[in-house]
Structure formats: C-alpha cells, structure tokens
Structure 1
Amino acid sequence: MTRVLFVTSEVHPLVRTGGLADVSASLPEALGHIGYDVTILLPGYPAAMELTRDAGALHKARLWVDSYDVNLWQTRLPGTAVTLWIVDCAQLFRRPGNPYQNAEGQPWKDNARRFQLFAKVGAKIALGKAGLSWIPEVVHCNDWQSALLPVYLELSSERPSTVFTVHNLASQGLFPQDTFQNFGLPEKSWSYDLLDLKGQLAFIKGGLVFSDRITTVSPGYAEEIQTPEFGCGLEDLLYQRRHELTGILNGIDTRAWDPENDAHLPHHYGPEDIKSKRLCRFQLRQELGLEQTDAALFCFAGRMVKGKGLDWLSDVLPALLKRGCQLAMIGAGTASQASSSEERKFEVAMDQHARDWPGQLSVTIAYDEALVHRVIAGSDLLLMPSRFEPCGLNQLYGLRYGTIPIVNRVGGLRDTVFDVSNNSGEIANGFSFDIPDAAALLSTIERALKYYESRRTWRRIQENAMTGDYSWNRSARLYSDLYQNILAERQHAIWG
C-alpha cells in the first residue's frame, strides 16, 4: 500500500477559502478507496485544534523547528476514514478567521514564516526525522503554502518522490529577498531559474522547480499557464517543464452534491425523473421573493469580482431582465473590510439592480452552503462567465443538478462544458463562448434561451448533463498512475 503525505493549507470542512479545500478533502478519500495509505497534513488553525479536542486526537510528536515549539496531532478528517495530522504551533496558526489574512483583509505579516515552518515540518516527516514510524513514499504538495517542502526535500538524497499541484497560479506567495536569507536555504537557490521571481522570493517556484511532477486541476489550464496571458510571469518555466506537467480534472463530492439525496433540497429528483426540479424552482422563487413565472431562472454562485466576469454580467443584466428572465445571485461576501473598492463596486451595483428589478433579481451577499444547493437545484441555467477558471466546480454542480451552464471557454470550463452547437447530441451539455466580452455572453444567453423553449431538446441536454461522471474516481486513477510512474523512475535512478 503506497504511502502518500498530502500537504495542504485548507481542507473542508475545517477551513475553506476556495476549491483547494474541496480537493484536499475529496482526493485523499478517493485515493484511499483504491488502496492508497493517505495522510493529510494541515496547519493547526483554531477549527483544526477544536477537532483535536473533540475527537480525542493522539499526540504523535513534539518538535523544535527554528526555535518554535511544534506538536503533531493525529485524528480523522470528519466524515471519512482519512488520517489527518495537524501541525500545532499556537504562535503561528491559532488565529481567528481567514487563514491568510487578518480582520482588515491584509495578509498576516508573518505568512512567510508560518508556511516556511509548515513546509519544514512536512520535510521532517517525509525524511523520517520526526520520530514517526510512518514515512511517505510520495509527498503531494498544493499551492504556494506548501511549495517550499520540495526545496527542503531536495537537500536529501533519500527523499521521497514529490508532486506539486497548482490550483491557482496567480497566488504565488511572494516575499522580499531578505525573507529567503532568513530561511537558511542554500545560496545557490537564489536565482531566477530557481526561487527568485523579479527580485522576490516566490514560494510557488519551489514546487514548480523542485517537484518531480507538476499537476494542475484541468488539462485546459495546464495548456493555458504555458502562455503569457495566463502564465502570471511563470509561463517560460512551465513551458520548460511541460513534459512533467499534467492537467487532471477535479471531481466533486457526489454524495454531498446529489439531487436524489441532497438534504438541503425540499424535493429530490434525478436524470430519469426530473419533474421535482420544478418544485425546487417554485420553492426557491418563494424563498427569494421572486415572481412565480414560466420564464427561465438563471443563477450565479461565487465571488462577485471581475475575474468571475461580473462586469460582463452587469452589462448584460438589463437586457436579460427586460426579456422577463430571472436571476438568483449568491456571492461569497466580498463586501467586507477585506474587499477592495474594485470588488465592492460589483456588489453595490448588483444590490441596486435588485432594487430596480424586484421580483426578477435576488442578490444574497453571503456564503450559505445550504442556499447554494437550493439555488443551483432550483435554477434552469447557471451563469459562469469567468475570465479564467483553473477547473471550476460550480459548473460541475450545475451539470449534476440539470442546471445548464453558460461559460466562457477557458481552463476547466472548456474541458467539462460541451456546447450544444459544436457537439453531437450524446455529449452536448451546455453553452460556451470564445470571445471574452459582454456581447459574446449576451449572444450565448440568447442562443441558450432558444433551446430552452423546446422542452424535448432541453430535456435531452439535461439528461446529458446529469448522467456525466463528475466523481473523483477517474481522477484518482490518473493520480495513481502518476504516483506509480514517479516511484518507478526514482527506483530506477537509485538502483539503475
């Protein structure tokens, strides 16, 4: 049974700011189902430490790392059989709220030190220097917060194999050069080919340069990040490592997202009997104060920011509503002190639209997991005009619930949503546009509404959407193949 240490700064349901947490919960469990011995390593945030108390966690080790007192606790990820190790360093991790930002929305000033220590603890575990009997054969790191771990492992000839997954290349973990000098890393690591990115220490380059394999969360995004448009200044490095770069689509938790058994829904339905979706729509309209009508109900769920195409959506909204259509929006609450004025303006604009169009537009500025389920289940179409989308999960939720996506054809969206006009009837499951502007979005909406008017055609599209396989099963197998390949390569390198 291959041992894998899965290193992440987020895992659902303990801490979540985005899709990383969902992947970190689902992929290890899926790997366990196919025979892997996976242990998740997570910083000791307050919610994680509360779990150690409530679940009777085992104390595994006490370490002194760079003068910090660190304790390692073992428990289980809630609702699973997956082992969870928690790095308890109260001075660095026991802080309320967002794991990366303070109450004013500013990064914690010691973020570099926090995640450098996290990586160093991971390296000690991986090299058998933490006093534990369990030593991984593969270390799987995720995003910049764990990206220095492969750097520390590279210093040992007896290191395990390493994989680094990019969930969002735009988050790079950039810090001043003197940060590098305080970490005791080899001076030769400070070069543009290694950890230097335009005079700053880039944590993410540790994973991109020093890992045996790099993965991203969709094949489309793997191609895009090798280009200047999406490469965030790292496209040349990623192109150089293109033979070690793989795009593997994320899956979703098909137990939590199952319209036939979803505890958040007032009525249940499936691909063979979709009638109760109408009842979900009726009750959603009632819950949100929308008029009961035969018009199409659109939804948007996500952060109300430019990157999610909110400027395009705002531009087309009057035309959409004038047609009599409705829109249910639920945002992640970016209108807090943490949001920029650029982000807040979209929330203000949507609030104003909701006052101008009562009964047709509902706007919820908050993140409510149960309401998101009801919004997606009760809507007819899902709007996802993202400027970039490494994988995307909402379109997968929409597909599974027969809520047909309208997407910008980027990243994982182009790998999962197949336009009705360009595909055979067997796989067509949504609508997409290639020109990134409001006019293309509106044209695609109008095209989708024409199909919506034909009940028989729309039902066929819904069947295609709902019968797709969006589980982690296939993706877990692809990660398994990747692990076995690099283990074989490392074995060959050692023994010849």
Structure 2
Amino acid sequence: MNKILYLTSELFPLIKTGGLADVAGSLPPALTRLGQEMRVLLPAYPEVMRKVKQPSLLASTRYYNQEVKLLETRLPENGLSLWLVHCPAAFDRPGGPYINGNGEPWHDNALRFAIFCLVAVDIALSRLNLNWQPDIVHGNDWQSGLAPALLQLHSRRPATLFTIHNLAYQGLFDHQTFLDLDLPAGLWHLDGLEFYGQLSFIKGGLAFADRVNTVSPTYAREILQVKFGCGLEGLLQHRRHRLSGILNGIDSRVWDPKHDKYLKAPYGTENLEQKSINKTLLQQQLGLPVDSDIPLIGMISRLVEQKGLEIILQGMADLLALPVQLVIVGTGDTHYELQLSHWANRHPDQIKVIIGYNEPLSHRLEAAGDLFLMPSSFEPCGLNQIYSLRYGTLPLVSNVGGLADTVVDADAENIKIGTANGFVLPNQTADDLLATLRRALGLWQTDTWRQLQLTAMGNDYSWRSSAKHYLDLYHLALGDRRGAMG
C-alpha cells in the first residue's frame, strides 16, 4: 500500500470547469479500491465550502503573511478523504477557480496556487505535524506544478508524478512574479521554471517530477512534436524516457444509461430501442420538432477554438442544409457563443444552443443523441466521446489524442471485422467534417448503425484498468526516487 497525496485544483462534484474535475473525482476512489491510501488536496473555494460537511481543522500555518488552515472532510459519495487549503485571501471570492466574473484570469493566480503548492510541499515533508507523510505526491496541471520543483530541492522527499491534462494551459507569469513569490533563485534557469523570460508553473512539473504522464497514449506522442508541444516539445523530448500516456476512464456508475438518474427512459444493449424515447423527450423539452427519423447531433463542450468551433461555423450553412437537428451545450469564448446563438435564432427548428454548463441536460443529451460532435484540433483525452460511446451515441471526431485512442472509424474494413464504433475525420477541416457527417448519415437507420452502437456500448470504459496503470506508474516513480537516493 502506498500513501498518495493527490493535488487538484478542481474536483467533481464539488467544483468543475473541465475534465480534470471528473478525473479527480474518479481516479482517487478507484485507487482506494486498489488498496492505496489517498488524500486529495483541493483549494477551499466558496462553492466547495458550501457543499462539504463539517470540515475539521488539521493544521494552521502562514505563507506570504496570510493565515492558511488545512481542513479535513470526507466525500459522502465514496468516503474519500479530502484536505482543503483554506486561505480566504486567496480562494474566498465569487467567480470561477481561475477567472473572475468578467472572464479574465484572477490577477493573483500565481500567488493563489503558490500557496496551494506550498501547503502540498509542507505536507510532503511532514512539516505540519499531521502524523501522515505521503510516499508519492501526484500533481495535476499547472496549478500544482511548483510542488515537484520545490520538492526536488530536498533529499528526503516523496516520489513525484505530474499529470498533464492539457499542455496549452501553462500558468505563465512575468519574472517579477517569480521574485515576488520569493522562489529559490536556483529554479530560475532554462532547465527550470524560466520559459522565454517568463515564470512557467507547468515546467515545474515537466522538468522536475520523477515521472510525467498525459491522459492518453497518442497525446503523449503528439506533445513531442512542434504542432502539439506548445513550445515545450524540447523539454519533453529530453524527458521522453520518463513520459507516458494513460487513457482516462469514466465513472461508470455516474455515466451509465441503464441507471442514469437523469433519464426517464433508461436503456442498455438489450433494450436499445428505449434510447429513442430520450430523444423524443429532449426534442419536446427544447422545442425542436419531434421526429424520430431526424438524426439528432449533440455537442457538449467548452466553446473554444481547440474544440473545432472554427470548422463547425465555417460549415454551418451546409450542415444545416442536411436533414439533422443540432444541440450544443457549453460556455466559452464570447464570439463563439454569439455566433452559435445567431445561427440558433435563424434556424430555431434545427439548432438549439444552451450557454452554460448543465449536468442533467448533459446526461439527457448523451442519451438522446444519435451522433456526438467533437472535431477537436487537439484533445489530450476527451471524456465526452467516451460518455457517448457508453450511451450508444456515435462520436464524430478528429483523429487526434484520446479521440484516436477510443474511436474506431466506420470504414468498410472496420465494420467488417466488428471494431468500428464511430466516425473519424481524415483531416480537421470544414470539408472533411461535412463529408464525414454525410458518410455517417448514409448508415443512419441501417442494421450497420445498430451494430456500431452495440460495439460502442460493449467496451469497458471504467477507471479500474486505468487505475492499475497508475499503480504501475507509481511503482516506477518510487523506483526512480530510490535510484536517485542511491
């Protein structure tokens, strides 16, 4: 059994902006079931504090002249031990975890997540008299990137693992911020936290963690290339022997069409015809024409360029010339929200755009849809295509990252051998998006379509397999650490 301190800046169901929250809410419980002793460290945002029950005080300390308390509670869903970094000056404010009400990053994000990392370091080095010290510190994304950098300065430290969920978000700040945070001067160099004259939080994890992984095998290979490396491909090439990819799982109890609490008509492979009832109900709910013979395309996404919004909008006129309905749920860049809403206003019988995140609607759309649209320019793992597979809603995706690792194109050969479960764009262009959609519609309401659905729903997408891969990675990190200590 290993003692693992898991660092995350968001955690479903307490606080969520993206896939990290889903992973943080599912992987630690899966590791607990495999015998690991987990402690999850999370900032005490107001939204989190409203949802947790009676946290108790573990320790008090100070950083940057701010009082910081470490609180403990447990998640009622699974009993997971949750430690909260309670620092009102850093985290007690309205808005999101990273951005304010105007959609701009908090001006003091560097200070906020430096405090978060300093708490992690003090726990890791047994400085807070907790009578608990981790064997492994597992950080996620730039918000926890300083922890491996600071820990590597100490000879008697735990092993470290750093997981990249999206390399495009790097935690970049100016050099003055590095000085203001009073970080060790020895960390400011090309092979350290310095990135073209800026402070890079994510480099702390990439350069100094014993092991680094991404959330799909294909993305782990892609980020070694200039196209996907976001300027860090040189460092990642240098550390490629410590880099690997583990495909995310999903919480198969939450995302299960047979037992989904948000569905009025649950279904499985044995009663797949029930799926169409969910489509009828959603068409009624959203004011779309109720017609089981019109393919319903769903999209649940952050509305940002990465997710393929450019090629969707370029092809929208031609897409809406097809006999389809399109439902898009998400929030993101204002210009995408406005353009999509414009199309929805012009074609109210074909397209509905719901701005904002809505968990019940997300489940109902996954169940109601015939196709799921996810033509990302890059996708570290992606979860919605996996949810879609489990719900028999065939994904239409780009051939990148985790999409390439989970969706098998319905070409003639893959259909023949029974592995096809969706549709893959040859290239990420509007023309290929439309051509692939037309190809999918050519199979709509055929026996082949049902076979694709059954194949999609038949795979195991649970965390159990992925969690075992993380156990293997923990053992490698511990081995690296022991080797370094001689």
TM-score where L is the length of structure 1: 0.95
| Matched residue, 2:296 | 297
Cα deviation, residue 49, structure 1 = 2.6
With over 3 angstroms needed to count, the CA separation of the structure-2 counterparts of 1:344 and 1:57, relative to structure 1, is: closer
Structure 1 position 250 matched with structure 2 position 248: yes
Pairing 1:328-339 to 2, within 5 Å after superposition: 328-332=327-331, 334=332
- 1:429-454 CA-to-partner distances (Å, cap 9, x unmatched) read 00101312100111100111111141
Matches within 5 A, 1:7-156: 7-52=7-52, 55-156=53-154
Within 5 Å, give how 1:179-218 maps onto structure 2.
Answer: 179-218=177-216
CA contact under 8 A between 2:367 and 2:391: conserved in structure 1? yes
Question: 2:475 maps to what in 1?
Answer: 484
For 2:336 and 2:177, the matched residues in 1 are separated by: 36
How many angstroms apart in 2 are the aligned matches of 1:492 and 1:107? 40
State the Cα deviation string for residues 85-137 of structure 1 (Å, max 9, x = none): 00111111111120112222222221111111111110000011111111000
One-letter code of the match for 1:18? G
Kindly indicate whether residue 461 of structure 2 is the aligned counterpart of residue 470 of structure 1: yes
Q: Work out whether 1:372 is the aligned partner of 2:362.
A: yes
Tell whether the 8 Å contact from 1:301 to 1:330 is kept in structure 2 after alignment: yes
Name the count of aligned residue pairs.
483
CA distance in structure 1 between the aligned counterparts of 2:102 and 2:343, rounded to whole angstroms = 28
Cα shift readout 1:155-185 (whole Å, capped 9, x = no counterpart): 1100000000111111111111122123333
Structure 2 unmatched runs, 5+:
none
Q: What is the SS of the residue equivalent to 1:259?
A: coil
- Counterpart contact for 2:213–2:244, Cα < 8 Å: yes
Per-residue deviation at 1:459? 0.8
Residue in 2 that maps onto 1:339: none
Which residue does 2:428 correspond to in 1?
Answer: 436
CA contact (8 A) 2:210 2:480 kept: no
- Does 1:398 find its partner at 2:397? no
Fraction of identical pairs, as percent: 48
Whichever residue aligns with residue 468 of structure 1, its letter is N
Q: Which residue of 1 aligns with 2:440?
A: 448
Q: Residues of 2 paired with 1:387 and 1:490: CA distance?
A: 36
Aligned-partner Cα distance in 2 for 1:136–1:323: 56
Is the Cα contact below 8 Å between 1:48 and 1:86 reproduced in 2? no
Q: Is the 8 A contact 1:49 1:88 kept in 2?
A: no
Structure 1 contact 4–38 (Cα < 8 Å) conserved: yes
SS at match of 2:316: helix
Structure 2-normalised TM-score?
0.97
Q: What code does the residue aligned with 1:394 have?
A: N
**Which residue does the alignment assign to 1:355?**
345
Partner SS, residue 72 of structure 1: strand
Change in CA separation of 1:322 and 1:78 when aligned onto 2, cut-off 3 Å: same
Separation in 2, partners of 1:81, 1:373: 24
* 2:227 corresponds to 1:236: no
Give the match for residue 315 of structure 2: 316
Q: Distance in 1 between matches of 2:243 and 2:68?
A: 34
The secondary structure found in structure 2 opposite 1:478 is helix
Q: Which residue of 1 aligns with 2:225?
A: 227
Amino acid in structure 1 at the alignment position of 2:107: K
What's the CA shift for 1:14? 1.5
Write the distance in 1 (CA, Å) between the matches of 2:104 and 2:126. Answer: 36
Q: Of 404, 418, 429, which residue of structure 2 is paired with 1:426?
A: 418
Letter in 2 for 1:447: R
- Cα distance in 1 for residues equivalent to 2:383 and 2:294: 26
CA distance in 2, matches of 1:239, 1:452: 44
Preserved CA contact (<8 Å) 1:13 1:78? no
Aligned-residue CA RMSD (Å): 1.4
Shift of 1:357: 2.1
- Superposed displacement of residue 492, structure 1: 4.2
Task: Tell me, in whole angstroms, the C-alpha distance in 1 between the residues paired with 2:390 and 2:173.
Answer: 41
1:287-315: per-residue Cα shift (whole Å, max 9, x none)?
11111221211111112222211121123
- Give a deviation string over 1:299-345, Cα, whole Å, max 9, x none: 1111222221112112323323322211112122x3xxxxxxxx323
- What CA distance in whole angstroms lies between the structure 2 residues aligned with 1:380 and 1:152? 49
Give the secondary-structure state (helix, strand or coil) at the position aligned to 2:101.
Answer: coil
